[in-house]
Amino acid sequence: MLFRILPLGIVLFWLGSVGWLCAVVWAPPGSRMARVDPLEVYRVFFSWNDSINMTLLEHGLRRGQVTVSGGSGNDPVTGAFARDLSVSGSVERYDPRSVSHLVDLFWKGTVSFTEAMALLESDFSVRVPGQDLSARLHYLESAGMVDLRVSKDGREILGFDGLASGPGGSAAQSPLAMLGAMAGGPDGLGVIGALGLGALPPGALSLEASARMGNFNFGGRDMRAYLLTLRHSTHDQELRVYLSEVGEPLKIESDLGFEAVSELLVPLDAYRRDLPPKIE
């Protein structure tokens, strides 16, 4: 009897092992991650109360840097609780003649939310040194008011202070649409839209969010992290944000070839090369 059961046990053990191995190797990555409420990810990030420098990459080539910070607390004046997100950075271009990187664009965006993640206000500014062009937009949700200023060569060429919907309530003529078009434009401005910064104006904040938690490999290091996916249904684009268990951003990926990677995960020799490095 024992000699009959033993071969059967060995076969069942072998089949189980092969089945488990196939599930691990060929199962979709998302199926091995636990779903979590996006609000949990937001809570962890805004409780982080810190900032981090990230390297901006385009198709694996270094294009600049990004600084992301998140925090929460009570307003010292009103006492109201708010969550604040700040994203700033620069877009660079490698110049072989000077063997250095030249800055094409500086930008900064800040957004304030309630604890339930309802928009309070946002502020966005961009400067293009090569064209002596700068723009700033401020939006206050409670009043539905926006202030937009665009200057070139030290002279204001566009100014708007009024309702966010624009004249006659037309969204197409609104300053938010103007800045959105600028964010998706050529040169370094395309980075703004690619990393989701074009979503800072309220018209683009209607994003679908989903979140998971699982194990990921970053730069050869296995880490447990959150994956927050933000989808813009109108443009059919995704922004994938990876955060550590304590809310520290590790990597931000877009569908347009741009990504931001924590400097802790970028190889040190990437900054010692004369040519822009390709990060695998």
Quote the percentage of the chain above a pLDDT of 70: 67
Of residues 193 and 156, the one with the higher pLDDT is 156
CA 179 to chain centre: 18
pTM listed for this prediction: 0.73
DSSP per-residue codes, 185-230: SSGGGHHHHHTTGGG-SGGG---EEEEEEEEEEETTEEEEEEEEEE
Q: pLDDT band at 144, cuts 50/70/90?
A: confident
Give the pLDDT of residue 165: 54
Q: Taking 60 as the threshold, does the pLDDT of residue 220 lie above it?
A: yes
Of residues 26 and 68, the one with the higher pLDDT is 68
Q: Which helix (H) or strand (E) holds 84?
A: strand 81-95
Of residues 252 and 58, the one with the higher pLDDT is 252
Of residues 273 and 98, the one with the higher pLDDT is 98
Q: Taking 50 as the threshold, does the pLDDT of residue 59 lie above it?
A: yes
| CB hemisphere CA count around 181 (13 angstroms) | 7
- What number of other Cβ atoms are within 10 A of residue 213's Cβ? 18
Q: From CA 16, how far away is CA 140, in angstroms rounded?
A: 59
Q: From CA 104, how far away is CA 100, in angstroms rounded?
A: 13
| CB hemisphere CA count around 64 (13 angstroms) | 21
